[in-house]
């Protein structure tokens, strides 16, 4: 461990040093994947638990009614089309043009997505896997438009949340709720099974205000070609085709990405990140100011209570 690392923010130990101007490499994962030891009364099947543990993800299907799915789709459309403050930084556009790519903090601006995030089915699964109360570290809508939707390059979310947000340990997970048909053709989520068991410490460092560019096109905190090749050779690549309403649950350190989309059919997902309340974020590990609240909940962290669930329209 270099002097630089040892001297990092507030003399905390950095268990997952990355972007420390040293070459990229694999580090050991020091944290459990499934925190719960007691799997009696598990809200998911043993197969799902095992897949999450070994591969880093699984899919929840058929947990929302058609009417609930329609409601989410309508709300997505409304948010996408809604008149907004032109300076609204929580709305991210594609690199090089003005097509909407993501809207952050949707649970904070939409009652429907707040109810999705606190849906008892989802919350029960998150609490079970993390064995703790949880809060929403981040939420967003990802729009991958048809015809000209850009890729999301390979990355571990945890790497960024750790370095730029100060999330100490791997005790968080994401749920990606399909809002349109995610087929093999329109740039579905691809995961590298087993990648969550190693931490890819990345080279380089973190530029000032990195988030302004990284949310459009990530260039720092991405694993290098040789390590990606090793992960893909070791565990393969799984693309998740999902019908609207299906939920992909994946570990915070699972390396994932998606290709672009030239099909006419947009690929849209709502993305909710649950972090363990014991794992709340501190100072970033990169000696940069914290990212804005719409990207990383910091000011108002409290255990998420079960809500009424997703409303049903029509």
Question: For residues 229 and 312, which CB has a smaller minimum distance to its own copies in the complex?
Answer: 229
How near is the Cβ of 190 to its own copies at its closest, in Å? 6
Binding of its own copies by 260 (CB under 8 A): yes
Burial of 127 (0-12, 13-18, 19+ CB in 10 A): buried
In the structure encoding, which two tokens stand for residue 147, read together? Answer: 């015809």
* Residue number with CB closer to its own copies (176 or 259): 259
Distance in Å, CB of 281 to its own copies, minimum: 28
Q: How near is the Cβ of 195 to its own copies at its closest, in Å?
A: 12
Q: Which of 6, 27, 84, 262 is close enough to bind its own copies by CB under 8 A? A: 262
The region of 2-10, 119-127, 224-232, 244-252 touching its own copies under the rule CB under 8 A is 224-232
Residues 152, 47: Cα–Cα separation, whole Å: 29
Taking contact as CB under 8 A, which single stretch among the options 26-34, 52-60, 143-151, 205-213 is the one that binds its own copies?
Answer: 143-151
DSSP letters, 101-155, are: EEEE-HHHH-HHHHHHHT-HHHHHHHHHHHTS-EEEEEEEEEEE-TTTBPPEEEE
Residue 261 binds to its own copies (criterion: CB under 8 A): yes
**Long-range Cβ pairs for the range 66-69 (8 Å, 24+):** 66/245, 67/312, 67/313, 67/314, 68/245, 68/309, 68/310, 68/311, 68/312, 69/179, 69/244, 69/245
Note the residue count of the chain: 314
Site for its own copies in 174-193 (CB under 8 A): 184-185, 187, 190
Give the C-alpha separation, 145 to 99, whole Å.
8
258 near its own copies (CB under 8 A) = yes
From 4-12, 82-90, 151-159, 246-254, span contacting its own copies (CB under 8 A): 151-159
Is 263 an interacting residue with respect to its own copies (CB under 8 A)?
yes
CB nearer to its own copies: give 228 or 272: 228
Q: Give CA–CA dist 115/131, Å, rounded.
A: 22
Query: Interface with its own copies by CB under 8 A: which residues?
Result: 146-147, 151, 153-154, 184-185, 187, 190, 225, 228-229, 232-233, 237, 239, 257-265
């Amino acid at each position: 461990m270099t002097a630089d690392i040892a001297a990092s923010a507030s003399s905390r130990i950095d268990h997952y040093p990355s972007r420390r101007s040293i070459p990229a490499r694999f580090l050991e994962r020091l944290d459990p994947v499934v925190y719960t030891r007691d799997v009696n009364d598990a809200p998911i099947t043993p197969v799902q638990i095992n897949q999450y543990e070994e591969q880093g993800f699984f899919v929840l299907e058929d947990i929302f009614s058609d009417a609930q799915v329609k409601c989410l789709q309508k709300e997505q459309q409304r948010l996408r089309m809604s008149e907004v403050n032109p300076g609204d930084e929580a709305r991210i556009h594609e690199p090089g043009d003005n097509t909407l790519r993501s809207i952050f903090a949707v649970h904070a601006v939409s009652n429907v997505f707040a109810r999705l995030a606190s849906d008892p089915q989802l919350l029960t699964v998150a609490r079970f896997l993390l064995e703790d109360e949880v809060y929403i570290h981040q939420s967003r809508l990802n729009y991958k438009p048809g015809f000209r939707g850009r890729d999301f390059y390979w990355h571990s979310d945890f790497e960024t949340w750790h370095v730029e947000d100060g999330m100490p340990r791997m005790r968080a997970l994401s749920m990606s709720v399909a809002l349109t048909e995610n087929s093999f053709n329109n740039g579905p989520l691809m995961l590298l099974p087993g990648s969550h068991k190693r931490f890819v410490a990345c080279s380089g460092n973190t530029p000032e205000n990195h988030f302004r560019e990284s949310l459009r096109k990530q260039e720092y905190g991405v694993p290098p070609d040789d390590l990606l090749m090793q992960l893909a050779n070791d565990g393969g690549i799984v693309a998740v085709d999902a019908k609207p309403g299906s939920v992909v649950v994946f570990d915070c350190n699972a390396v994932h990405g998606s290709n672009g989309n030239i099909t006419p059919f947009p690929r849209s997902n709502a993305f909710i990140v649950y972090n363990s309340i014991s794992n709340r974020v501190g100072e970033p590990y990169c000696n940069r100011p914290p990212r804005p609240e719409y990207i990383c909940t910091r000011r108002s962290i409290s255990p998420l209570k079960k809500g009424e669930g997703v409303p049903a329209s029509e």
